[in-house]
Structure 1
Amino acid sequence: MKLFIFGLGYSATYIAQRLAAGGAAIAGTVRSQVKADQLSGLGYAMRLSASAERDGAVARELADSDAVLVSVPPDARGDPALEVYRDDLAAASRLRWIGYLSTVGVYGDRDGGWVDEATVPVPTSEASHRRLDVERQWQQFGDTHHILVHIFRLAGIYGPGRNQLVQLAEGKARRIVKPGHVFNRIHVEDIAQIVEASLGRPRAGAIYNGADGAPAPPQDVVTFAASLCGVAPPPEIPYEYAELTPMSQSFFSECKRVRNTLLRDELGVTLRYPSFREGLTALRAAGDGP
């Protein structure tokens, strides 16, 4: 099998590594020459994604790809990959599967209530509105061209080098407290196994929540990370006094609990890290943290 990935960023790189270990040929796009050189050294066929201009080399890679994974953020017009390569994707005779990495943000704020894949999305942020629009664009494209499209709605992503242990080591960890606020997370290695399982069990119109099923307050995660490192946790900061980045603000602006039972029931996936506790414990053992 050959998989082409639009946007080999953090999550998609782990997906590529897992599938390559199983014998898949990997090609894709990146934003930097350094990343292109690094991944080319692993045997991947990499191209720099420069602009909205069609790249003939990318088109040729798509022509003999069996599957395509899209891991690029939408812009004001929709999905850049679909915008530029729509005709090439439609003409790719071997293409049978398209995966799109989306976000649980499309469900909007549920005041702490539970959501699953059958829940009607009601996005509240502009970014989540764009994600939902792009989900529908890909689903419509798949229906039109008889290509199976799978949507992966991901929770807060963490993994090696990107977690609260690292934040503690860098002095950037904060325990921001907003009473009643919880959200789910997902380890990047679990994202990779979810995508791999999806490729093995294609279903038209499939949507999967990539979430750990264990929603928790963010301050509890920092406290647990500090306990693994044998250090005192940083002081609590009331939400109303916290200065937040736009990304952090998005996590605190919506509160919901995400079910992931479809992963087990339909894809047969058992998460390696069913909560942040297992995930952070493994990351600490691997060397992350102070």
Structure 2
Amino acid sequence: MTTLLCLGFGYCARHFAARRAGAFARITGTGRNDAQQDGVEMIRFDGAASPALLEAARAADIVLASAAPLEAGDPFLPSLGAALAAGAGKGPLIYLSTIGVYGDTGGGWIDESAPTDAAAPRARRRIEAEAAWRALGQAAGRPVAVLRLGGIYGPGRNALADLAAGTARCIEREGQVFNRIHVDDIAGAIGAVIDAGFDGILNVVDGEPSPSCAPVAFAARLMGLPEPQPMPFEQAAASLSPMALSFWADNRRVRNDRLIALTGPLAHPSYREGLAALFAAGEGGGQGSRPSGGRAP
């Protein structure tokens, strides 16, 4: 059986590890501390690789990197790149990126062949990190799968939970749409990449780019609540963070044909199927809701 190293054991990595735990002899993850997770050996990473992490990097058959780059670049490659390149593992290096690298296309449709000419500093750092991981793979003789993700949602992280918590926002900008992706389908894409030994770029998005308010309105209908009144972007802009403003600066429609060819039909082809499944599982007070009403872990 193979070993998996998760560089940044966040939302997507946790979900994938739980879904495919039985497929790996050993799963190692990194975090800000070494608090252990069920079935996962956690190693603290604070910018410098410990001997334990270097050993895990040299031994890993498959590497899943999901940490965002810092101003200085990818947080892991400076201390782990040599170990990953020289290690015995030759399985794929999987880098979770973002469709933000494409920048603004004025709402036009694009696929993986589109140029990555985003101007925002955060997106530029992502582009540079993608290139660094691909260069490492070439040097190590390992396939590199760059998964460009849409807006992530799933258990505990969705419009239903936001409405229940009173934190949902409905901001509209005329003509602007966004692709999303359920974490179940992200996990499915990671598994398919591993199984196929995929090497290249993959847009991991749903097939229905839609306005920002659409999932919030649909979630409200599921919960039997009034649909929130949209707030014009021009009115909301003054209260948005620089990160949020950079998100709203881009308008694009991203195709997922390559993803579907690799994985088959998505479990949640749009936000409607995804939110309906989450509601049925108890999110937002749905049929499976726990009496405590708490967020999913």
Contact 1:62 1:89 in 2 (8 A): yes
Letter matched to residue 75 of structure 2: P
**Partner Cα distance (2:266, 2:22) in 1:** 19
**Partner Cα distance (1:24, 1:260) in 2:** 32
Q: Which moved more, 1:251-260 or 1:89-98?
A: 89-98
**Partner Cα distance (2:116, 2:135) in 1:** 17
Change (3 A) 1:46 1:282: same
**Partner Cα distance (2:144, 2:216) in 1:** 36
Q: Does 1:99 align with 2:94?
A: yes
Contact 2:85 2:139 in 1 (8 A): no
**Partner Cα distance (1:60, 1:28) in 2:** 13
Q: CA deviation at 1:252?
A: 1.5
**Partner Cα distance (1:21, 1:257) in 2:** 36
User: Which residue in 1 is equivalent to 2:44?
Assistant: 48
Letter matched to residue 217 of structure 2: T
Contact 1:197 1:269 in 2 (8 A): no
User: Which residue in 2 is equivalent to 1:198?
Assistant: 193
User: Which residue in 1 is equivalent to 2:265?
Assistant: 270
User: Which residue in 2 is equivalent to 1:251?
Assistant: 247
Change (3 A) 1:90 1:29: same
TM-score normalised to the size of structure 2?
Answer: 0.91
Alignment root-mean-square deviation, CA: 1.3
Q: CA deviation at 1:57?
A: 0.4
Contact 1:182 1:217 in 2 (8 A): yes
Please give the per-residue CA displacement for 1:107-148, whole angstroms capped at 9, x wherever unaligned. Answer: 000000011111111112110100000100111111122111
User: Which residue in 1 is equivalent to 2:8?
Assistant: 7
Secondary structure of the equivalent of 2:185?
helix
User: Which residue in 2 is equivalent to 1:144?
Assistant: 139
Which residue among 225, 237, 262 is the counterpart of 1:231? 225
Q: How does 1:113-128 map to 2 (within 5 A)?
A: 113-128=108-123
Contact 2:185 2:267 in 1 (8 A): yes
Q: CA deviation at 1:196?
A: 0.3
Q: CA deviation at 1:23?
A: 4.2
**Partner Cα distance (1:245, 1:234) in 2:** 22
Letter matched to residue 232 of structure 2: P
**Partner Cα distance (1:215, 1:234) in 2:** 20
User: Which residue in 1 is equivalent to 2:72?
Assistant: 77
User: Which residue in 2 is equivalent to 1:220?
Assistant: 214
Secondary structure of the equivalent of 1:284?
helix
Which residue among 204, 207, 217 is the counterpart of 1:210? 204
**Partner Cα distance (1:258, 1:74) in 2:** 23
Letter matched to residue 49 of structure 2: R
User: Which residue in 2 is equivalent to 1:16?
Assistant: 17
Count of residue correspondences: 282
Secondary structure of the equivalent of 2:76?
helix
**Partner Cα distance (2:244, 2:259) in 1:** 27
Q: CA deviation at 1:270?
A: 1.8
User: Which residue in 2 is equivalent to 1:186?
Assistant: 181
Unaligned runs of 5+ in 1: none
Contact 2:85 2:137 in 1 (8 A): no
Change (3 A) 1:24 1:179: farther
**Partner Cα distance (2:51, 2:79) in 1:** 11
Which residue among 236, 257, 261 is the counterpart of 1:261? 257
Contact 2:65 2:96 in 1 (8 A): yes
Please give the per-residue CA displacement for 1:24-78, whole angstroms capped at 9, x wherever unaligned. Answer: 5211101245xx33x1xx221111112x222100111122210111011101221
Please give the per-residue CA displacement for 1:142-176, whole angstroms capped at 9, x wherever unaligned. Answer: 11221111100000000000011111011111211
Identity of aligned residues (%): 42
User: Which residue in 1 is equivalent to 2:162?
Assistant: 167
Letter matched to residue 44 of structure 1: V
Change (3 A) 1:5 1:129: same
Secondary structure of the equivalent of 2:100?
helix
**Partner Cα distance (1:254, 1:129) in 2:** 14
Unaligned runs of 5+ in 2: 286-297
